[in-house]
Amino acid sequence: MAFNINPALVLALKSPRNWRGILRHRFRSQINVARSYRQSKLKPTLKYRGSSLKNFDFDEGITKEFEHQAEHFKKYGWAYISNFFASDIHSRILRAWPSLNYFTVGSDPTKSYDKGPRWSASDAHSLNPGINPEFYLGFECLKSQKFEDRVSQFCDDGIQRVNSSLGSAWARTGSLLLPHIDDVWQFGRGAVINFVVFVDGTNPVEQSGSTSIYLTNDFTDPIFVPPCLSNTALVYETGRFIYHGFPRVGRGKFSKRLIAQYSPENQPKFSQIRGAVAQDLSSRTL
């Protein structure tokens, strides 16, 4: 949930100049039905059987560049990581990225990107069996117990965290994310950590859906704009007053991303997630 969204920007979404977004929102149900129908006609994608992953340690799928930004994160509440995934993992996720038919148009016009395969503790979405299993390599790395421990050490605040949700998104022409602050008051300041992992994107990044950090909620005071949208990550504390979002994506521009959230292990609704997501992923043996 988001709050402190600029009301003037929300009002601008109803302007005729936003005709593309208005039509997209109005006909989202029809678009999603059409995509679902086309998806049902697709044949399951066979796994690429490369030998280099036979004995791969998925606990090592995320590089040590992550730890190198720990001090910046502890000081400012956010950090940017280059070369996030091991190069082999990143190339395979990119190659297996699902078609648009596996993504849906959301109902919130202030977050108008397409949402793809996902899993969360609250609604336990199943992983789609029609998608190339190599796409889920990123999920495997992000949900591993070793990386959960690395996240807890990265934050260094005495809170043990577990992966509470995994997702994917595709920002395309006309998509936007109005600057906002995540509302997670029930966990306390800094308790929930979000990762936006950019898998691929176009240049210039400012026109391609690069989730950025802002001082205010009107796009006028950017603190940090990710310089690259290929195998990089933006990490931030959801409980701090950190505005984040991206302006409307330009014509022919895009960004593809994975999204992961880490929450306190002792929260009741997250206490059983490890077994659920492990069972979901184990059926997709890689």
Contact between 86 and 61 (Cβ < 8 Å): yes
Chain center to CA of 74: 21
Using the structure block, give the residue that is written with the tokens 């129908």.
37
More confident residue, 262 or 282: 262
Residue 26 binned pLDDT confidence (cut-offs 50, 70, 90)? low
pLDDT digits (tens, 9 = 90+) for 61-70: 999 999 999 9
More confident residue, 244 or 31: 244
Mean pLDDT for the stretch of residues 26-39: 69
Percent of the chain with pLDDT over 90: 43
Q: For all residues of the chain together, what is the average pLDDT?
A: 80
pLDDT digits (tens, 9 = 90+) for 85-131: 999 999 999 999 999 988 988 777 788 899 998 887 666 556 676 78
- Domains of the chain in sequence order: 2-45+55-282 (2.60.120.620)
Mean pLDDT for the stretch of residues 249-258: 95
Residue 39 binned pLDDT confidence (cut-offs 50, 70, 90)? confident
With left for phi above 0 and alpha for psi between -120 and 50, is residue 231 left, alpha or beta? left
Which residues partner with 182 through β-bridges? 2
Given a cut of 70, whether residue 204 has pLDDT beyond it is yes
Read off the DSSP letter of residue 18.
Answer: G
